[in-house]
Amino acid sequence: MVTEATAGSANGPDEPQLAPVVRVDLPAPPAFGRGSGDPGVALVTIDRQSVLNALDAAVLSALAAAFRRLDADPTCRAIVLTGAGTRAFAAGADIKGMVDATPATIETAGGFEHWESISAVGLPVIAAVRGFALGGGCELALQCDLIVAGDDATFGQPEIKLGIMPGAGGTQRLTRAVGKARAMELILTGRSFDAREAERLGMVSVVVPAEETLDRALELAGRIAAMPPLAVRSAKAVIAATQELPLAEGLRIERRVFVDLFATEDQHEGMTAFIEKRQPHWTGR
Ligand code: HXC
């Protein structure tokens, strides 16, 4: 297994090198320890456990770099994103790094370009959430395409309690995921909610026993990684791009991309394999 460590905390030239804050495993470890890891699945782990994996500038920049690199790697077919330890996916943006910010400094140093890089990834991304996913941590999970939540997960947009509001997509993505009335209540009160409520609200794909969270996410990623990669990217891109469009426009884009997939070898292979009653062999072309 290749285990890489991406950028560590932002050390000065004379400071000792600190432990990496984001780890990348490609391939990911095997789900439930069975066999070898799926070669197409990458595991990205946020590791700042002493502060519940709070997202500072070093984490955001390392996450963005890791996602860009995996997105350009033809061997990678799906990404699982998780937080190290059992207490948190991420407890939000780092409050200590924001307390003295001004509009000008938050605009330039708020890491918005990293958030954009993370959401621009074309590969499917599955969040494996245990413990706290609050504020920017909840927004990071909402940026993922699917959320596998452990039954110990706690979600929330508590920014209002800090005198601010969600700034990395929470007002948009939470509202689209759960509807305006529920998003208003959650964002304006800042209250947390558990995994079962998140499931009822339609925000998470599945709730699983806490200790199985990562394995279930890896399993799901493995199933997606076994699908034809161009079709997977196309389907994700259309769903993501059309959320904010009128239905008619979304249907038009869906039609165009659907039609384009008939130019791929995988389309012919998939249908031929069905007719010949055999497993398809995907080439990604
Ligand atoms: C910095 C944080 C942190 C955060 C926790 N810690 N969350 N540090 N930024 N977001 C640190 C604590 O200071 C503490 O360090 C250590 O992690 C453990 O946390 P405790 O509070 O002691 O744990 P506990 O009592 O179990 O409470 C857990 C918690 C609480 C409920 C998650 O930590 C909490 O409310 N955290 C803040 C959650 C939040 O408001 N998130 C939104 C941030 S704003 P020390 O050194 O003190 O022991 C945001 C905006 C996004 O995300 C905008 C993006 C553009």
pLDDT of residue 18: 63
CATH at 173: 3.90.226.10
pLDDT of residue 9: 39
**Residue that finishes a domain, picked among 191, 208, 225:** 225
The answer to whether residue 125 sits within a structural domain is: yes
What total of structural domains would you count in the chain? 2
Q: Are residues 220 and 244 in the same domain?
A: no
Q: Residue 256 sits in which domain range?
A: 229-276
The answer to whether residue 35 sits within a structural domain is: yes
Quick one: CA dihedral 119, 121, 126, 128, positive or negative? Answer: negative
The answer to whether residue 250 sits within a structural domain is: yes
- Ligand 1: residue whose CA is nearest its atom 53: 167
pLDDT of residue 235: 97
- Ligand 1: residue whose CA is nearest its atom 36: 91
CATH at 238: 1.10.12
The answer to whether residue 82 sits within a structural domain is: yes
Residue 219 is inside which H or E element, if any? helix 213-225
pLDDT of residue 243: 80
- Provide block-wise average pLDDT over 10 residues at a time, the chain (285 residues): 42 55 96 89 98 97 98 97 98 93 90 94 98 97 97 97 92 92 96 98 97 98 97 96 80 83 90 90 93
What whole-number distance in Å separates Cα of residue 229 and Cα of residue 78?
9
pLDDT of residue 259: 78
For the entire predicted model, the pTM comes to: 0.91
Q: Is the CB of 159 under 6 A from ligand 1?
A: yes
Q: Are residues 243 and 123 in the same domain?
A: no
Query: What is the Cα Rg of the chain in Å?
Result: 19
**Residue that finishes a domain, picked among 203, 225, 247:** 225
Q: Are residues 146 and 8 in the same domain?
A: yes
Q: Are residues 113 and 233 in the same domain?
A: no
Q: 88 alpha carbon to ligand 1 midpoint, in Å?
A: 10
Q: Are residues 73 and 158 in the same domain?
A: yes
Q: Are residues 81 and 141 in the same domain?
A: yes
The answer to whether residue 283 sits within a structural domain is: no
The answer to whether residue 284 sits within a structural domain is: no
**Residue that finishes a domain, picked among 225, 250, 268:** 225
Q: Is the CB of 136 under 6 A from ligand 1?
A: yes
pLDDT of residue 63: 98
Catalytic residues: 93, 136, 139, 159
Residue 134 is inside which H or E element, if any? strand 132-134
Q: Are residues 57 and 129 in the same domain?
A: yes
Q: Are residues 125 and 150 in the same domain?
A: yes
Q: 92 alpha carbon to ligand 1 midpoint, in Å?
A: 7
Q: Are residues 45 and 106 in the same domain?
A: yes
Question: What does the DSSP 8-state code read for residue 30?
Answer: P
What whole-number distance in Å separates Cα of residue 174 and Cα of residue 203?
8
Look up residue 88 and give its two tokens.
Answer: 């948190």
Q: Are residues 187 and 72 in the same domain?
A: yes
Q: Are residues 81 and 133 in the same domain?
A: yes
For the CA of 52, the nearest atom of ligand 1: 17
Residue 128 is inside which H or E element, if any? strand 125-129
The answer to whether residue 281 sits within a structural domain is: no
Q: 71 alpha carbon to ligand 1 midpoint, in Å?
A: 30
pLDDT of residue 130: 98
Q: Are residues 68 and 200 in the same domain?
A: yes
